[in-house]
Amino acid sequence: TQLLEQSPQFLSIQEGENLTVYCNSSSVFSSLQWYRQEPGEGPVLLVTVVTGGEVKKLKRLTFQFGDARKDSSLHITAAQPGDTGLYLCGGSQGNLIFGKGTKLSVKP
């Protein structure tokens, strides 16, 4: 059974702080994706990582794919209130499954 575990489940921080969100699995995925979801909306793709050990940067966000392609992390530098949302890790093995998400709240 495919399973993606995300941690932490909730994160409340002050503006300007750094944070890291983790996504782990016992399964190997052909790719991992990170999505961000705001209330009342569907998730929106942030990045896709495909190669083991891959690191991708998107402005203040840094994404890493584990060497064994079983885990990934999302690091946000100098968080801003606009980063508030539900961050979802999605794994693909021909389908697309998600972890339970990390609810991030960044307070001004």
The reply on whether position 30 binds another protein by CB under 8 A is yes
The reply on whether position 41 binds another protein by CB under 8 A is yes
The reply on whether position 55 binds another protein by CB under 8 A is no
The tokens describing 4, both together, are: 């993606």
List, as one string, the DSSP characters of 49-83.
E-STT-EEEETTEEEEE-TTSSEEEEEESS--GGG
Q: Name the residue with tokens 């697309």.
A: 96
Query: Among 20, 62, 84, 92, which residue sits at the site for another protein (rule: CB under 8 A)?
Result: 92
Q: Enumerate binding residues for another protein (CB under 8 A).
A: 6, 30-31, 33, 40-45, 48, 50, 86, 88, 90, 92-101, 103
